[in-house]
Homo-oligomer: A and B are copies of this chain.
Amino acid sequence: MNIAVLGTGMVGRALAARLHELGHTVVVGTRDPAATSARTGADGMGRPPFSAWQASHGDIGLATFADAASAADLVVNASNGAASMEVLRLAGAANLAGKVLLDVSNPLDFSAGYPPTLFVKDTDSLGETIQRAFPEARVVKALNTVTADLMVDPRSLGASFTVFLSGDDTEAKATVVGLLTDVGHDDVIDLGGIETARGPEMMLPVWLSLARTLGTSLFDFKVVR
């Protein structure tokens, strides 16, 4: 498949590398490819610049959000939740129309410091907001409760955990389940329509609490039943 991964952060890099490893043609989308490649210092999170990662992932393209989405069969929204609506507008509704749009983002609001709150919740979700704004995209929410390393290498945890799935398009969800299975996920629960994304998005506060308590992000939730 031709896959666009929108976002050059930790999540975008991890997903792009893993999907490429699985044989897909992957292009990373960014606002300004020349600027992204030219940055040399560590990013705001203290990670190496994108160019360093790019140098060791030469088969993965870098393009504008619009060019990446245009060439893709499937688009991954791996952007910061607060920026996601702008990123997707830049990708362009026409370039998203008819395509599976896998949304792994979280509506985290850091404007009042840490811990963040959620800028949409309970009666709405970021997944639904995206689906409403891009009605022709086939939005599937998944993986937002999983840290990047476990998104792409779930077996490294040593025990099965659950990935939640929400979306209105059954075929799009089946495509995503196929990808998740290829990546190594072995317990996917389809919660229903895109409105069920409210539940997994509202797990972020307990996720952040656990990360602090356990001192690691290498944990996840298994629905025991």
Contact = CB atoms under 8 A, between A and B. Distances in A.
Interface of A: 117-118, 121-123, 157, 159-161, 164, 189-192, 196, 198-200, 202-203, 205-210, 212-214, 216, 218-225
A224 B122 contact: no
A191 B203 contact: no
A100 B221 CA distance: 29
Contacts of A216: 225
A153 to B, nearest CB: 14
A221 to B, nearest CB: 5
Contact of A203 (B203, B219, B222): B203
A224 B117 CA distance: 24
How many copies of this protein are present in the complex? 2
A205 B124 CA distance: 11
B189 A224 contact: no
Nearest to A200: B206
27 contacts: A117-B122, A118-B122, A121-B122, A121-B202, A157-B224, A157-B225, A161-B224, A189-B213, A191-B209, A191-B210, A191-B213, A192-B212, A192-B213, A199-B205, A199-B207, A199-B208, A199-B209, A199-B210, A200-B206, A202-B205, A214-B223, A219-B224, A221-B221, A221-B222, A221-B223, A221-B224, A222-B223
4 nearest A-B residue pairs (beta carbon): A199-B206, A219-B225, A199-B205, A202-B202
Nearest to A208: B199
A178 B24 CA distance: 52
Contact of A209 (B157, B196, B218): B196
A159 B160 CA distance: 13
Given A161-B224, A210-B223, A218-B225, 7 more contacts: A117-B122, A117-B123, A159-B224, A190-B213, A191-B206, A200-B206, A221-B222
